[in-house]
């Protein structure tokens, strides 16, 4: 009954990292080539929930994120690429969902608890309501599939709870039960200086982070300085247990070279990091170098990026306007 349609978004809250690329954007590109309509979004309304950003910084981040999407292979001819604030139906359905979601449901969101910490009185109302807006981002397209990291699983469950309550309370079968498409732990890229923390664009204090705008020398230097242990690499996966830094570098190598971890270990087992790190750096530069060059080329013409996003907003509204109209009719508006 529902068209197979993918929606996903990334916050323009800082520069893109290798983690965003391997964990999210690569999957976005794959799904674009499969039998789905694909909608990918710079979620700028979400980017101000943690703190109000400098306006010039926010608009720069949004364009840079769009450049990163396009340079990685997302094509404005195959996917709808949008900036969330330019498609007003997201926020309009978000309000309705604020009235569908229950305080108790929202209070159980672990990401809110993590982000708010002990400071829950001081964070914005938007941070608390974020998952209801995220549900609207997805359901305003009747999206059937959402590729996300494991950290977003609970928000997808909330999206289904909101859809189910709306459908039940109004006696309709209007919103789909959206499926998350979750990458396994192997595509979770960890920090190069602490193998127990994820590499994140939202953590400005981590200078070891590999940014998608880094040049070849910077990438090579960051990999050379990555924390490791003194042992040689194992030739089997079991040998990576209790060696989070080694496991992370092997995972990155496997992801960048499209090989299984087993296959990589068969090749590099027995090597010292002094041999393995330059090979990893060479691979990372070969994969990311062309993307960062293309990003720089695109960023030199911001008007062209704005044009692509404006076109995407027009295409998006052909989907979102009728769905919002029907939602209002169901409610009696
Ligand atoms: P960040 O923490 O870098 O600000 P976001 O929360 O905006 O990232 O997440 C954007 C997408 O990138 C999500 O689908 C998320 O699961 C994925 N992602 C973020 N960091 C990583 C990582 N280190 N490894 C794998 N995927 C990641
Ligand atoms: Na497609």
Please indicate whether residue 122 is annotated as part of the active site. no
Query: Which protein residue's CA is at the shortest distance from atom 2 of ligand 1?
Result: 200
Residue 306 near ligand 1, beta carbon < 6 Å = no
Q: Kindly report the CATH number assigned to the domain that includes residue 252.
A: 1.10.240.10
Helix (H) or strand (E) holding 322: helix 302-331
Tell me the three-class secondary structure of 208-260, residue by residue. Answer: CCCECCCCHHHHHHHHHCCCCCCCCCCCCHHHHCCCHHHHHHHHHHHHHCCCC
The pLDDT value given to residue 58: 97
Residue 24 token pair: 């999210």
Query: Which protein residue's CA is at the shortest distance from atom 10 of ligand 1?
Result: 10
Residue 264 near ligand 1, beta carbon < 6 Å = no
Please indicate whether residue 221 is annotated as part of the active site. no
Q: Is residue 207 part of a domain?
A: no
Distance from the CA of 34 to the center of ligand 2, in angstroms? Answer: 5
Q: Kindly report the CATH number assigned to the domain that includes residue 33.
A: 3.40.50.620
Q: State which residues form the domain around 324.
A: 5-188+303-331
What percent of the chain has pLDDT above 70? Answer: 99
Please indicate whether residue 113 is annotated as part of the active site. no
Are 60 and 164 contained in the same domain? yes
Mean pLDDT of the region 248-265: 95
Q: Is residue 168 part of a domain?
A: yes
d(CA 81, CA 268) in angstroms, rounded, equals 39
Exposure string over 259-289, b if 16+ CB within 10 A, otherwise e: eebeebbeebeeeebeebbeebbeebbebbe
Are 161 and 86 contained in the same domain? yes
Are 26 and 152 contained in the same domain? yes
Neighbours of ion ligand 2 (CB under 5 A): 32
User: Has the ipTM of the complex gone over 0.90?
Assistant: yes
Are 43 and 88 contained in the same domain? yes
Are 26 and 170 contained in the same domain? yes
Is 39 annotated in a binding site? The answer is: no
The pLDDT value given to residue 172: 98
Rounded to 5 degrees, φ, ψ at 182 are -105, 125
The pLDDT value given to residue 186: 60
Q: Is residue 197 part of a domain?
A: no
CA 130 to chain CA centroid, nearest Å: 15
Q: Is residue 194 part of a domain?
A: no
d(CA 110, CA 152) in angstroms, rounded, equals 10
pLDDT digits (tens, 9 = 90+) for 87-122: 999 999 999 999 999 999 999 999 999 889 888 899
Distance from the CA of 74 to the center of ligand 2, in angstroms? Answer: 10
pLDDT digits (tens, 9 = 90+) for 119-159: 889 999 999 999 999 999 999 999 999 999 888 999 999 99
Q: Is residue 163 part of a domain?
A: yes
Are 292 and 309 contained in the same domain? no
Are 155 and 225 contained in the same domain? no
For the stretch 278-285, contacts whose Cβ atoms lie closer than 8 Å and that sit 24 or more positions apart, written own/partner, are: 278/220, 278/224, 279/253, 280/223, 280/249, 280/252, 280/253, 280/256, 281/219, 281/220, 281/223, 281/224, 283/253, 283/256, 283/257, 284/18, 284/210, 284/219, 284/223, 284/252, 284/256, 285/216, 285/219, 285/220
Answer yes or no: is pLDDT of 205 > 90.
no
Distance from the CA of 48 to the center of ligand 1, in angstroms? Answer: 17
pTM of the complete model = 0.94
Rounded to 5 degrees, φ, ψ at 92 are -65, -45
Q: Is residue 64 part of a domain?
A: yes
d(CA 131, CA 129) in angstroms, rounded, equals 6
How many distinct structural domains can be found in the chain? 2
Are 72 and 161 contained in the same domain? yes
Are 321 and 253 contained in the same domain? no
């Amino acid at each position: 009954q529902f068209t197979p349609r993918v929606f996903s978004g990334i916050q323009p809250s800082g520069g893109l990292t290798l983690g965003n690329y391997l964990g999210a954007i690569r999957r976005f590109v794959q799904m674009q080539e499969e039998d789905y309509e694909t909608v990918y979004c710079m979620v700028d309304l979400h980017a101000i929930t943690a703190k109000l950003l400098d306006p010039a910084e926010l608009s720069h981040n949004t364009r840079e994120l769009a450049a990163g999407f396009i340079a990685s292979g997302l094509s404005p001819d195959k996917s709808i690429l949008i900036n969330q604030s330019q498609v007003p139906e997201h926020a309009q359905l978000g309000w309705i969902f604020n009235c569908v979601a229950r305080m108790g449901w929202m209070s159980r969101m672990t990401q809110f608890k993590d982000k708010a910490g002990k400071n829950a009185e001081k964070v914005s109302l938007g941070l608390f309501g974020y998952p209801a807006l995220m549900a609207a981002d997805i359901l305003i397209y009747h999206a059937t599939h959402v590729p996300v990291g494991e950290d977003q699983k609970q928000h997808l469950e909330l999206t289904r709870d909101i859809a189910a309550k709306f459908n039940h309370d109004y006696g309709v079968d209007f919103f789909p039960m959206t499926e998350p498409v979750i990458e396994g732990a192997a595509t979770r890229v960890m920090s190069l200086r602490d193998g127990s923390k994820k590499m994140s664009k939202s953590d400005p204090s981590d200078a070891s982070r590999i940014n998608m705008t880094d040049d070849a020398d910077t990438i090579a230097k960051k990999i050379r300085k990555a924390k490791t242990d003194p042992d040689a690499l194992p030739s089997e996966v079991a040998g990576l247990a209790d060696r989070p830094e080694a496991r992370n570098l092997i995972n990155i190598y496997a992801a960048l070279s499209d090989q299984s971890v087993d296959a990589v270990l068969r090749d590099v087992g027995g090597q010292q990091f002094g041999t393995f790190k330059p090979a990893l750096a060479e691979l990372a530069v070969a994969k990311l170098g062309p993307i960062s060059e293309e990003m720089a080329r695109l960023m030199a013409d911001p008007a062209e990026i704005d044009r692509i996003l404006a076109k995407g907003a027009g295409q998006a509204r052909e989907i979102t306007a009728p769905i919002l109209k029907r939602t209002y009719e169901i409610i009696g508006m």
